[in-house]
């Protein structure tokens, strides 16, 4: 069978939300009013830390699909002032966040044990305030949230190949920028991070054979598998990967913006950045190349996300091993597209209704595990009871 990214169609029930006149949809979706609707119509569980587990109304998969959002809509009314990545979350909240992630991922792997039958993934999407709210591609909810998704591989095998020139797969050229000009610098920088549970993958060993993705991204195998997710050390290393990426991204685009710029403020690994990046000719040569093009090409300059934008995943590869990867994302591609799955979501209430009972049964089951672990209380909606 030909390997390549797949495009699948996923049905959803049209959402009965009226966007006020004069507002763009993504402006409204960031409002407290919309998040209130999300809680009461799709909410599964919430806790005092402000973490909300909910069904994805516009889902990627009707096999298994839910999210946890750090719901600060009532406490931080400025959408651009809300936490949008793990490193901005208070420690006591992150402790609960990590435990919720561990419980849900363990449930997914238990419920779907065969890597030949299902593609299992969980990951965080960057929602940094890098563009105006009305720009195309800006996330619809400007708050930190994680995705938990399962795809049937039989459905992926039967799906048509996706367009290789889809900008969400090519990352608009920024992905190739990292890979084509700074690949060795980028990998060497990550190699200096203090990692014990996460071991770098050999090139190509972490790809999903069916799709051929991820492509060119640094990836790490989780030593110890799902049991490692019960260890605090794993989540600290997961944060280390993100912090290292943020340092690299910010340092590079700071140099693009301003020649010979000083070290960015609030850097995580200052000595590493200084020795491996600020004194590296390949790194600075690439920054000059991008800076020169920005000066001459307004469209190209406008496409750049100057602040860190990324997707960070935990997924199961074809051999059943858990893999961590992080994107060099500056366009806003869906988290599934890092693994070569393009989802076309279509309104079809009848098709969704056929899949809904089995989906809800699994979401309620994983909610019960979270309740038993003292990670929140169930929410009642028109579709399910609180317990």
Residue of 304, 272, 312 lying closest to 189 (CA atoms): 272
Examine residue 146 and say whether the peptide bond preceding it is cis (omega within 30 degrees of 0): no
What's the mean pLDDT when you consider all of the chain? 89
Asked whether the beta carbons of 49 and 62 are under 8 A apart, the reply is no
Reported as a single tens digit per residue, the pLDDT across 82-137 is 888 888 999 999 999 999 999 999 999 999 999 999 999 999 887 665 555 555 55
Asked whether the beta carbons of 64 and 47 are under 8 A apart, the reply is no
Q: Which of 174-183, 231-240, 292-301 has the lowest mean pLDDT?
A: 174-183
The pLDDT > 70 percentage for the chain reads 93
Tell me which residue has tokens 């995580």: 268
**What are the φ/ψ torsions at residue 216 (nearest 5 degrees)?**
75, 5
């Amino acid at each position: 069978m030909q390997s390549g990214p797949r495009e699948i169609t996923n049905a959803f029930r049209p959402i009965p939300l009226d966007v006020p006149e004069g507002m763009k949809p993504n402006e409204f979706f960031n409002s407290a009013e919309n998040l209130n609707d999300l809680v009461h119509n799709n909410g599964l569980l919430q806790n005092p830390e402000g973490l909300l587990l909910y069904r994805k109304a516009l889902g990627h998969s009707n096999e298994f699909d839910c999210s946890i959002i750090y719901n600060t809509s009532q406490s931080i009314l400025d959408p651009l002032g809300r936490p949008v990545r793990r490193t901005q979350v208070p420690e006591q909240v992150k402790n609960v966040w990590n435990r919720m992630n561990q419980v849900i991922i363990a449930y997914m792997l238990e419920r779907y044990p065969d890597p030949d039958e299902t593609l299992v993934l969980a990951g965080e999407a960057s929602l940094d305030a890098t563009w105006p709210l009305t720009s195309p591609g800006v996330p619809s909810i400007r708050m930190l949230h994680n995705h938990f998704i399962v795809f049937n591989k039989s459905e992926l095998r039967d799906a048509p190949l996706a367009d290789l020139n889809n900008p969400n797969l090519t990352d608009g050229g920024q992905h190739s920028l990292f890979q084509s000009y700074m690949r060795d610098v980028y990998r060497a920088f990550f190699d200096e991070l203090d990692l014990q549970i996460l071991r770098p993958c050999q090139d190509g060993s972490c790809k999903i054979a069916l799709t051929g993705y991820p492509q060119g991204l640094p990836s790490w195998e989780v030593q110890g598998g799902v049991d490692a997710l019960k260890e605090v050390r794993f989540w600290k290393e997961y944060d280390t990967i993100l912090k290292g990426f943020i340092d690299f991204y910010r340092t590079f685009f700071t140099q693009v913006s301003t020649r010979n710029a000083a070290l960015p403020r609030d850097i995580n690994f200052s000595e590493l950045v200084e020795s491996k990046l600020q004194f590296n000719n390949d790194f600075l040569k690439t920054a000059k190349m991008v800076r020169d093009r920005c000066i001459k090409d307004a469209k190209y300059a406008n496409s750049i996300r100057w602040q860190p934008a990324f997707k960070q995943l935990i997924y199961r590869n074809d051999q059943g091993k858990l893999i961590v990867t992080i994107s060099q994302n500056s366009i806003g591609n869906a988290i599934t597209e890092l693994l070569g799955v393009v989802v076309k979501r279509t309104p079809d209430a009848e098709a969704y209704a056929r899949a809904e009972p089995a989906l809800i049964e699994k979401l309620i089951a994983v909610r019960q595990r979270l309740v038993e672990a003292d990670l929140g209380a169930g929410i009642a909606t028109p579709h399910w009871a609180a317990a």
